[in-house]
């Protein structure tokens, strides 16, 4: 008798160790038209510069159409790297040569590439706790073990980092999001940025600085990038066009030493050969034509209004013992109630037609069940107010 082919498939140890994200159940529920979702990390479609993109595309397809439609270099379009290097210098005081820039298929690909080339399966890396879910997924896909370091309202706690380094003395790198962190919305203050750089310099550790939201500051003082403060070339910087142009372009970039760039190109050739040439050309035109600086203020104003509306609604509808962050930018608010279990609360939230992402998903060891991440950028104003009102009912029910 013939055997079912499925019974003969043997999967890798790494794949078998991976588990579905809680976001999968959220995506299934989003199809309900009555559902209000704060679960996604989606930019608002109103933030997309449709007219500018059309203008740039029409100009480029006429002038450079055959080049746009061809395969590109693995490291990306040279003129875009020049434009990125120039903008990083002007906006963030980051000095970089265009040859030190690799364009990637979103910054998510950069996380996977860097994990592959900097660590072996079983090696340790350090991150903030909580941290970006996509980073946890990317590093786990390479068999990397993650150690989380506690945060407070000023970012990663440096005393906790020092204690962690005594226990795990040779991490392959430390991954941080200093600006409007995903999921908490917290920014690392200047004092800690300087101390962090001192620590990694003393210990000889590489840092991966992930900065997808840095341009989206609504309030407070602009803080220097870790890469700009770094005097010893210990920081690798990652940026993306997903939040300042559109996520559909799937285009990010990494600034790194030449040795890292060479290895990233090598692994990228095995993944996708090169990123989208069309996206690279449009992004270059968007930067060089000055469109980005004329458009970003519109995005900031839109998101500032939505953040303020969500904070006001949280103050009005959530029980007094529920705490939440007040981000100066970015896309997320971190909501916490001591003694709660947001994993168990999610079932009631779905019944009440409101969605969030459980806090445990953002911890490498999944050990925090008192928090949740909510997004304020995507929903309409009316849904923000109504969704928070429903969320308040979920919290009230959790105490019974």
What would the pLDDT profile of 78-135 be if each residue is shown by its tens digit?
999 999 999 999 999 999 999 999 999 999 999 999 999 999 999 999 999 999 999 9
Within 10 Å of residue 205's Cβ, how many Cβ atoms? 18
Rounded alpha-carbon distances, angstroms, from residue 126 to 99, 162, 168, 182, 359: 28, 11, 9, 16, 18
Would you say residue 26 has pLDDT above 70? no
Rounded alpha-carbon distances, angstroms, from residue 331 to 19, 142, 247, 300: 26, 28, 14, 11
Would you say residue 167 has pLDDT above 70? yes
**CA-based nearest residue to 226, from 260, 177, 180:** 177
- Once rounded to an integer, what is the mean pLDDT over residues 68-86? 97
Higher pLDDT, 308 or 170: 308
**Predicted pLDDT of residue 398:** 80
Decide if 383 contacts 310 (C-beta within 8 A): no
**CA-based nearest residue to 183, from 221, 213, 220:** 213
pTM for the structure as a whole: 0.94
For the chain, percent of residues with pLDDT exceeding 90: 88
Domains of the chain (ranges, CATH numbers): 5-49+294-398 (3.90.1150.10), 50-291 (3.40.640.10)
> Rounded mean pLDDT of the chain?
94
**Predicted pLDDT of residue 313:** 98
- Reported as a pLDDT band with limits 50, 70 and 90, residue 368 is confident
Decide if 315 contacts 335 (C-beta within 8 A): no
Residue-wise pLDDT for 113-122, tens only, equals 999 999 999 9
Within 10 Å of residue 221's Cβ, how many Cβ atoms? 9
* CA 218 to centroid of chain Cα atoms: 18
- Reported as a pLDDT band with limits 50, 70 and 90, residue 7 is low
- Reported as a pLDDT band with limits 50, 70 and 90, residue 261 is very high
């Amino acid at each position: 008798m013939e055997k079912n082919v499925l019974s003969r498939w043997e999967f890798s140890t790494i794949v078998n160790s991976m588990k579905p994200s809680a976001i999968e159940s959220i995506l299934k529920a989003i199809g309900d038209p009555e559902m209000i979702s704060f679960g996604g990390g989606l930019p608002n479609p109103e933030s997309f510069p449709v007219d500018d993109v059309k203008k740039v595309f029409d100009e480029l397809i006429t002038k450079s159409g055959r080049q746009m439609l061809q395969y590109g270099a693995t490291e990306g379009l040279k003129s875009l790297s020049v434009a990125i290097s120039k903008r990083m210098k002007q906006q963030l005081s980051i000095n970089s040569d265009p040859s030190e820039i690799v364009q990637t298929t979103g910054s998510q690909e950069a996380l996977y590439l860097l994990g592959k080339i900097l660590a072996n399966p079983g090696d340790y890396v350090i991150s903030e706790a909580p941290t970006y879910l996509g980073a946890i997924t990317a590093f786990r896909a390479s068999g990397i073990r993650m150690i989380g370091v506690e945060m407070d309202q000023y970012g990663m706690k440096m005393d906790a980092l020092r204690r962690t380094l005594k226990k795990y003395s040779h991490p392959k790198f430390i991954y941080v999001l200093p600006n409007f962190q995903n999921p908490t919305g917290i920014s690392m203050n200047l004092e800690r940025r300087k101390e962090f750089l001192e620590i990694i310099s003393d210990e000889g550790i590489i840092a991966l600085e992930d900065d997808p939201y840095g341009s989206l500051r609504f309030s407070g003082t602009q803080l220097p990038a870790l890469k700009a403060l770094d005097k010893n070339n210990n920081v690798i910087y990652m940026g993306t066009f997903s939040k300042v142009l559109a996520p559909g372009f799937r285009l990010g970039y990494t600034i790194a030493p030449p040795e890292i760039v060479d290895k990233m190109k090598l692994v990228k050739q095995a993944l996708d050969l090169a990123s989208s040439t069309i996206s690279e050309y449009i992004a270059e035109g968007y930067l060089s034509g000055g469109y980005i600086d004329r458009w970003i203020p519109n995005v900031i104003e839109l998101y500032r209004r939505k953040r303020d509306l969500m904070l006001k609604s949280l103050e009005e509808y959530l029980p007094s013992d529920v705490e939440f962050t007040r981000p100066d930018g970015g896309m997320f608010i971190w909501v916490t109630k001591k003694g709660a279990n947001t994993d168990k609360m999610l079932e009631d939230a779905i019944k009440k037609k409101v969605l969030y992402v459980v806090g445990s998903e953002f911890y490498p060891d999944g050990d925090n069940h008192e928090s949740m991440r909510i997004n304020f950028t995507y929903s309409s104003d009316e849904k923000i107010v109504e969704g928070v009102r429903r969320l308040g009912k979920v919290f009230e029910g959790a105490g019974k």
